[in-house]
Amino acid sequence: MTKMFQSSGTQISSVSPADKTGTANPGMFFRRWLANPLQMGSVVPSSPALCRRVVQQVRRTPDEAVLELGAGTGVISRALLEGGVPAERLILVEIVPDMAAHLRRVLPGVRVIEGDARRLPELVPAPWIGRIGTVVCGIPLVLLPVAEQRRFIDAIAAVAPARGFLHYSYCATSPLPARRHGLLAKREAWTPLNFPPASVWRYTPTGG
C-alpha cells in the first residue's frame, strides 16, 4: 500500500533491467510509513499469503489487463506476474515518486504510471479503458471520508465499467460502506498469516 494524498505529475514507463534489491524493499516501505503513518495501510509490505489470495481472485480474459492501484514496492505486482498476468498486461499506478521509480527498476516490461488514482481516466492509456479485467486496490480507502472514497470508486468505474474491484484491507469488517456507494461487498479471502491479518474484498456495482 502507499501514500494517497500527494499530487504529482504522470510518467509512463516500460522498463529496463530489474533492480537487484528485489520488489519487497521493506526499508523503503518503512521509511514511507515513518513519513506518513496515516497514509499507509501497514508498516510492512504484504505477505506471500496475502499475495496468493489476491492473485487467486483475479479475473481477466486473455485480451484484458489487470490494473493495480497503490502498487507500493511491488510485492502484489510480482505475485500477479508469477500468477500468469503478462507483463505487458499489468498496469501499475503509484503516486509516490521514489516508489514508482523502484517499480520501474524491479518490474521490467510492466507499465508503471506515476500519478493520482483519482485521475484514472486521464492516466490509463485509452486503448485499455474498458479492457481491464480486474482492478486491485491497495490504497487504504478506509482512512478516507466517504466523499473521497467516492472519487476513487468513480475513477475505477470510468476505466473498468461494471467490473468493480478487489480491495485488500486489514479491517475485520468491510472497509467501505458498500451500500452507501451502491456496491455489493463480499469477503473473498482472509489470511491470519499477514501482519496485520488481512482480508480480500470484492466490490461490485449493485446488480453488476
What's the pLDDT at 4?
A: 34
The DSSP H or E segment spanning 90 is strand 90-94
Give CA–CA dist 19/169, Å, rounded. 28
What's the pLDDT at 22?
A: 55
What's the pLDDT at 47?
A: 82
For 72-100, the pLDDT digits (tens) are 999 999 999 999 999 999 999 999 999 99
DSSP state of 29: H
pTM of the entire predicted model: 0.81
Query: CATH top-level class for 34-205?
Result: alpha beta
Beta bridge partners of 91: 67, 111
Sign of CA dihedral 170, 67, 1, 143: negative
Strand, coil or helix: 95: coil
Q: What is the mean pLDDT of each run of 10 residues along the chain (208 residues)?
A: 34 37 50 47 64 96 97 94 98 94 96 97 98 96 95 98 95 94 97 83 88
